[in-house]
Amino acid sequence: MSQAEQAQVSRSVRNAWYLSTPALLILLVGAVGPLMIVLVYSFLLPGKYGNVEWGFSLDGWRGILFTKDIFDDTLVLADAHLTIFWRSIKLSLLTTVFTFLVGFPTAWFIATRTPKSRPIWLFLITIPFWTNLLIRTYAINEVIRTEGLLNTILMKLGLITTPLQIIYTDVAVFIGMVYVYLPLMVLPLFAAIDRFDMRLLEAGYDLYASRLQVLRRIILPIVKPGLIAGSILVFVPSLGAYVTPRVLGGGKQMMIGNFIELQFGQGRNWPLGAALSMLLLIVVTIALLVYVRYANREDANV
């Protein structure tokens, strides 16, 4: 490459950076800036009536796992915090697993329809995205509450004599999260299954493989990228869910998102809320890095 060509390439790269400067500044101010403020707040002292006091302290991060005894100020394990963390992780994992169990057959059904009817089924899957999350959550509330549609039907059929107590339990939060995040699992799985070569199924059956062997050795390895993408799309928002646990849990079945809001609100412990926010961000970042590393490894193998 001649010097003139090198100079032209350098000029093009420099111009591209100049043109990108406004967008980069907006990203820096709108995204990185607030995160840095939250990070700084996590290392400060809590104010008496909210806000923070400017003094370095690790109490916010220490408060994630430990709390001070009210009598002698000794540190004891924060059982309530650990319960919230465990509930959040447990419900997020269960939501991810159940959305796969329901979403995989659904995606397979849609992918195997005729090209003319396939858009209609995809349209039905994406309809919930047209409605606000709060409205969808209240719709589930009307179905599973004590006097709701589910209990009314079961009692009229004589299957139960007293209403099932589902609302304001972990089960209610789980049902709501599965309903809300199911499309996020179906769509990536459909994209992976849509590229699947159905002749591989015939080859497997010709080699006397059972249906379970075909599923385990042929179908799942090929659609694995869609499965991992869908799992990330479901697990990440489930872990930080706020509206669904708030409405269906009634404030009793608290998750990390609700716990963070509590610290910035009634708890008036902004450093702890900021530390919890950064912890949630770290967990989500690790999950995304694992996915990116896996995706890059799959591309390299191809």
Q: pLDDT tens digits for 163-184? A: 988 999 999 999 999 999 999 9
- In this prediction, residue 44 carries a pLDDT of 92
pLDDT in tens, 180-224: 999 999 999 999 988 888 888 888 888 888 888 888 888 888 888
Domain boundaries, the chain: 1-41, 79-301
Say whether domain 79-301 belongs to CATH 3.40.50.2300: no
- Which residues, given as ranges, of the chain have pLDDT below 70? 1-2, 295-302
C-alpha–C-alpha distance, residues 81 and 65, integer Å? 7
Which residues on adjacent β-strands are paired with residue 66? Answer: 77
pTM: 0.85
AA letter at 103:
G
